[in-house]
């Protein structure tokens, strides 16, 4: 088969798997698991073949137009360059791991068939985004991902948290998608095509009239999808979904779509210096704010969610300094280790019976209960904290190195120096904070002492094997790939530079050591070890059930979904007065409630009043006259047949006479 | 042949039937009047068929054929009509059209008067039915 055929099959197979899963889910339960796992695995093999054949050389570019659609043509275009090929491999690999893991994680779930089908559909939508060469086709995948994330985040719809989170995820991403759509139209009108290659050609020739406006509109959609400030608030709440969904959607695919989109259209973004500066500021605020918030979260998955936002901030930061190679490099390594972190967190939640770090820190021997999760999570946390030689170190140093090149003026690109400074400083601060919260997570989860954790039984093999599979790229991807990747990408050097490496690693080590010292200090006081926490004890239940209960009981037990009154938490001492606002995400949700939700609600009640009291009064008034007429006419209905027939006869006679008169012309 | 005689006779028959339908109170007599009107039409059909086919070269006598249809349908109609009148009489104890005003405006289908009438008549109807089957 040609490379083009293979590349078309990559998104098509999971889509067919999803269709078959949805159709056969009830009729043939035995086929659900193979139908979920096999298409994704085959798709992974095909994506790897495509990547191998493409080899970073000439991009595979194929196009067909189904039907003429009027002014700007919409074409089914395929465009696979080095970025697309490698991102597709990442997406299919993570999706395959997630499908295998889910088979064990939700093994007793009655809604598993529809869940697995939606995960497949989600994967195919992301692959469509990755492989598409036409922005309208890309938008189709983009929106399908939105609706799939709505369904998957709301998988436990029995709990109010999941319902609220799914709605919030959908609405917030849609809030970004509306300007995104307008931006796409404006872009296509200027360029005369939705094809990415043509648009980039138009950018080179200066054919885009208002690049800043278009780019800012597109940026809104990217911020919504990739969870960047100020549209990031949906992602921490989306942790109410099942853990494998968090791993798939909120680590490797959906949030990566926004970064990938900018990487595709980077020359367009470079055309506007203002937009690059906005991108840099957005990335910096996202990075630093989310790292602070992650340090205060009590739910283990919310820590990871905020860390995802922060790592996405690194990627947008790399794009803001016009180095998409570094951005996609970080996207790849982050996809691997963040998926591992989420899946390991799922195992830990199952083993501990709680998602609260405060409760875990009062449990002894959790690391013996889930040894696979302990070792793989340690690897992934080291990668997250960018400690050499783990993969996160190389990709993060690539980002910081790109920013340093811009600052020192080595880079001949179009990024403004201000963007370089912003990204570099925020990146270093975030490196410190990232190491701090990674250390805090590790200490609280694995170094607790107290009563032994309740036994939830062995984790299924499908769940633990996947962890080790993902641990390999988390450990070695960066070190092995940083020399080869520039060949696939733009050719920018991705080797870590000495200055940023020393600074970044120093910051990370400092963060880790400070947190460790604080933890020793807070746990030294016996008074600090107040009993705290609830545990969902379901020895026979599957991991999904345990997690549902953990999510549902967190708010009643601790008073808040993200916060626990734990005096021995090192994050509390480190953040000081900032701890409470950081736990609440700096009250951004409250701000949105005051600024947006309340006015909309007030407007809705006003409209309801107008409709019920004003509009309906007119309608009723208009109905009065016909009703009176009807009442008058109804009086003729006496029930006597003979009266009716008499009236009929009289009418007939009148008509006949009239007809005769007309006919005779009288 | 003069067409006037049958035409006048049929007009008289039709008017008599019409008067009966409009003025008689007994449902059976109303049905009989309907029969009169139908037969007036039959007479007209036969008479005009003959009058028209007189000049024509060849005729199918469709008027007379239609008369046969009308007679057959009238027989069926009077059978059903009499059965309905019988059922109404057994149910209500009367076949007076003036008293059968269930479709009048403001009349409730399960009103007190009709419900009471039904209650008193139901045992009788049941008794008659058992009698008939025996």
3-state secondary structure of A111: coil
Q: Is the pLDDT of residue B129 over 70?
A: no
Comparison of pLDDT for A625 and A366, the residue scoring more: A625
Q: Is the pLDDT of residue A11 over 70?
A: yes
Cα A465 to Cα B20: distance, rounded to the nearest angstrom: 97
Pick from A637, A638, A642: which is nearest to B22 by CB?
A642
Question: Dmax over Cα atoms in chain B, in whole Å?
Answer: 67
Element housing A63 (H / E): strand A60-64
Contact A306, A294 (CB under 8 A): yes
Cα A344 to Cα A337: distance, rounded to the nearest angstrom: 10
- What are the b/e assignments for A544-563, b being 16+ CB within 10 Å? bbbbbbbbbbbeebbeebbb
Interface with A, mutate which of B17, B105, B113 (most A CBs under 10 A): B105
Interface with B, mutate which of A632, A634, A638, A642 (most B CBs under 10 A): A642
Interchain CB distance below 8 Å, A640 and B21: no
Tell me the average pLDDT across A282-288.
Answer: 90
Cα A127 to Cα A142: distance, rounded to the nearest angstrom: 10
Q: Is the pLDDT of residue A654 over 90?
A: yes
The model's pLDDT over A43-60, given as tens digits with 9 standing for 90+, comes to 999 989 888 888 767 778
Pick from B18, B23, B102: which is nearest to A639 by CB?
B102
Element housing A77 (H / E): strand A76-80
What is the separation of C-alpha A85 from the centre of its chain, rounded to a whole number of angstroms?
21
Min CA distance, A631 vs chain B (Å)? Answer: 10
Predicted confidence at residue A537, as pLDDT, reads 56
Predicted confidence at residue B132, as pLDDT, reads 46
Interchain CB distance below 8 Å, B18 and A649: yes
Return the ∠ at Cα A9 (arms to A481 and A465), rounded to 5°.
50
Q: Which two tokens stand for residue B100?
A: 């059968």
Whether A630 has its CB under 8 Å from any CB of chain B: the answer is: no
* Predicted confidence band of residue B109 (pLDDT cuts 50, 70, 90): low
* Predicted confidence band of residue A639 (pLDDT cuts 50, 70, 90): confident
Comparison of pLDDT for A118 and A64, the residue scoring more: A118
Please report residues of B whose CB lies closer than 8 A to that of A641. 97, 100
Predicted confidence at residue B121, as pLDDT, reads 44
| Cα distances (Å, whole numbers) of residue A154 to A111, A167, A221, A560, A589 | 12, 8, 22, 20, 19
Comparison of pLDDT for A560 and A20, the residue scoring more: A20
- Point out the least confidently predicted range of A123-127, A217-221, A451-455, B63-67: A451-455
Interchain CB distance below 8 Å, B22 and A649: yes
- Percent residues over pLDDT 90 in chain A: 15
Cα A472 to Cα A486: distance, rounded to the nearest angstrom: 21
> Model pTM?
0.76
Min CA distance, B21 vs chain A (Å)? Answer: 7
Interchain CB distance below 8 Å, A635 and B23: no
The model's pLDDT over A344-367, given as tens digits with 9 standing for 90+, comes to 988 888 888 778 887 787 777 777
* Predicted confidence band of residue A581 (pLDDT cuts 50, 70, 90): confident
Predicted confidence at residue B133, as pLDDT, reads 45
Min CA distance, A642 vs chain B (Å)? Answer: 5
* Predicted confidence band of residue B31 (pLDDT cuts 50, 70, 90): very high
Interchain CB distance below 8 Å, B103 and A649: no
Nearest chain A Cα to B26, which residue? A642
- Point out the least confidently predicted range of A58-67, A127-136, A614-623, B114-123: B114-123
Q: Which two tokens stand for residue A616?
A: 């309906």
Tell me the average pLDDT across A604-614.
Answer: 92
Interchain CB distance below 8 Å, B101 and A649: no
| Cα distances (Å, whole numbers) of residue A228 to A181, A256, A425 | 18, 11, 18
Interchain CB distance below 8 Å, B103 and A645: no
Pick from A640, A645, A649: which is nearest to B101 by CB?
A640
Nearest chain A Cα to B102, which residue? A639
Q: Is the pLDDT of residue B110 over 90?
A: no
* Predicted confidence band of residue B38 (pLDDT cuts 50, 70, 90): very high
Nearest CA among B13, B88, B21 for reference residue A640: B21
ipTM: 0.70
**DSSP assignment, residue A72?**
S
Q: Ramachandran region of residue A353, left (φ > 0), alpha (ψ -120 to 50) or beta?
A: left
Interchain CB distance below 8 Å, A639 and B97: no
Whether A637 has its CB under 8 Å from any CB of chain B: the answer is: yes
Tell me the average pLDDT across A546-559.
Answer: 69
Q: What is the residue-averaged pLDDT of chain A?
A: 84
Predicted confidence at residue A299, as pLDDT, reads 85
Interchain CB distance below 8 Å, A641 and B105: no
- Point out the least confidently predicted range of A196-200, A364-368, A654-658, B85-89: A364-368
Q: Is the pLDDT of residue A566 over 80?
A: no
Pick from B21, B100, B105: which is nearest to A637 by CB?
B105
Min CA distance, A626 vs chain B (Å)? Answer: 17
Interchain CB distance below 8 Å, A639 and B101: yes
Whether A28 has its CB under 8 Å from any CB of chain B: the answer is: no
Residues 6+ apart with CB under 8 A from B114: B102
Nearest chain B Cα to A643, which residue? B22
Interchain CB distance below 8 Å, B104 and A645: no
The model's pLDDT over A138-193, given as tens digits with 9 standing for 90+, comes to 999 999 998 998 999 888 888 888 888 899 889 888 888 999 999 999 888 888 88
Nearest CA among A392, A396, A349 for reference residue A373: A349
Tell me the average pLDDT across A505-515.
Answer: 89
Pick from A634, A642, A646: which is nearest to B97 by CB?
A642
């Amino acid at each position: 088969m040609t490379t083009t055929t293979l590349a078309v099959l990559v998104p098509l197979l999971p889509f067919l798997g999803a269709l078959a899963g949805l159709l056969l889910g009830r009729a043939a339960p035995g086929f659900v698991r193979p139908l979920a796992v096999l298409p994704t695995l085959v798709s992974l093999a095909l994506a790897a073949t495509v990547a191998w054949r493409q080899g970073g050389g000439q991009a595979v570019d194929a196009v067909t137009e189904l039907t003429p659609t009027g002014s700007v043509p919409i074409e089914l275009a395929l465009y696979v360059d080095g970025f697309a090929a490698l991102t597709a491999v990442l997406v299919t690999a993570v999706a395959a791991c997630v499908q295998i893991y889910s088979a064990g994680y939700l093994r007793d779930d009655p809604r598993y068939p529809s869940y697995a089908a939606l995960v497949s559909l989600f994967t195919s939508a992301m692959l469509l985004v990755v492989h598409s060469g036409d922005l309208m086709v890309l938008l189709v995948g983009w929106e399908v991902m939105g609706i799939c994330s709505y369904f998957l985040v709301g998988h436990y719809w029995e709990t109010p948290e999941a319902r609220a989170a799914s709605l919030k995820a959908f609405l917030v991403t849609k809030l970004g998608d509306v300007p995104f759509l307008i931006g796409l139209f404006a872009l296509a009108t200027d360029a005369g095509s939705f094809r990415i290659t043509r648009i980039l050609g138009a950018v080179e020739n200066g054919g885009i009239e208002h690049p800043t406006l278009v780019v800012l509109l597109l940026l809104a959609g990217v911020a919504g999808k990739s969870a960047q400030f100020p549209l990031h608030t949906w992602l921490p709440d989306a942790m109410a979904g099942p853990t494998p969904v968090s791993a798939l959607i909120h680590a490797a695919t959906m949030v990566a779509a926004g970064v990938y989109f900018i990487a595709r259209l980077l020359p367009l973004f470079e055309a506007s210096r203002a937009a690059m500066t906005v991108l840099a500021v957005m990335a910096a605020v996202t990075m630093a704010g989310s790292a602070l918030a992650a340090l205060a979260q009590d739910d283990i998955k919310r820590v990871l969610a905020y860390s995802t936002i922060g790592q996405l901030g690194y990627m947008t930061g790399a794009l803001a300094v016009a180095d998409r190679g570094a951005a996609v490099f970080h996207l790849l390594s982050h996809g691997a280790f963040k998926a591992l972190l989420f899946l390991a967190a799922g195992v830990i939640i199952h083993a501990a019976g709680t998602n609260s770090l405060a409760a875990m820190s009062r449990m002894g021997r959790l690391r013996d209960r889930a040894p696979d999760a302990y070792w793989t999570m340690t690897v992934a946390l080291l990668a997250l904290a960018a400690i050499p030689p783990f993969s996160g170190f190389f990709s993060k140093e690539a980002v910081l190195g790109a920013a340093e090149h811009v600052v020192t003026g080595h880079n001949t690109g179009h990024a403004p120096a201000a963007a370089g400074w912003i990204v570099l400083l925020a990146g270093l601060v975030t490196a410190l904070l990232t190491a701090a919260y990674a250390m805090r997570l590790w200490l609280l989860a694995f170094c607790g002492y107290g009563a032994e954790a309740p036994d939830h039984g062995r984790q299924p093999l499908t769940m633990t094997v996947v962890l080790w599979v993902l641990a390999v790229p988390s450990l070695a991807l960066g070190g092995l790939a940083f020399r080869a990747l520039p060949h696939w990408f733009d050719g920018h050097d991705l080797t870590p530079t000495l200055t940023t490496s020393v600074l970044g690693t120093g910051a990370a080590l400092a963060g880790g050591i400070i947190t460790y010292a604080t933890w020793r200090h807070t746990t030294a006081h016996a008074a600090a070890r107040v009993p705290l926490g609830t545990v969902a004890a379901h020895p026979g239940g599957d991991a999904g059930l345990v997690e549902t209960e953990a999510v549902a009981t967190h708010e009643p037990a601790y008073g808040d979904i993200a916060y626990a009154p734990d005096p021995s938490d090192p994050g509390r001492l480190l953040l000081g007065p900032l701890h409470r606002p950081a736990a609440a995400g700096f009250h951004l949700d409250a701000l949105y409630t005051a600024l947006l939700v309340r006015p909309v609600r007030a407007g809705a009640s006003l409209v309801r009043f107008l409709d019920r009291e004003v509009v309906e009064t007119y309608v009723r008034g208009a109905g009065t006259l016909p009703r009176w007429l009807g009442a008058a006419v109804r009086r003729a209905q006496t029930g006597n047949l003979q009266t009716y027939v008499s009236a009929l006869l009289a009418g007939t006679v009148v008509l006949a006479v009239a007809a005769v008169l007309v006919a005779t012309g009288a | 042949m003069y067409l006037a005689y049958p035409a006048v006779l049929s007009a008289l028959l039709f008017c008599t039937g019409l008067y009966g339908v409009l003025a008689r109170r007994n449902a059976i007599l109303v049905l009989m009047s309907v029969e009169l009107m139908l037969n007036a039409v039959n007479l007209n059909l036969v008479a005009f068929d003959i009058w028209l086919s007189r000049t024509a070269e060849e005729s199918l006598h469709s008027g007379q054929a239609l008369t046969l249809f009308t007679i057959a349908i009238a027989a069926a109609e009077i059978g059903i009509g009499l059965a309905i009148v019988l059922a109404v009489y057994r149910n209500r104890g009367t076949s007076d059209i003036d008293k059968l005003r269930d479709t009048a405006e403001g009349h409730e289908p399960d009103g007190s008067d009709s419900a009471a009438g039904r209650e008193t008549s139901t045992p009788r109807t049941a008794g008659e039915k058992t009698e008939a089957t025996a």
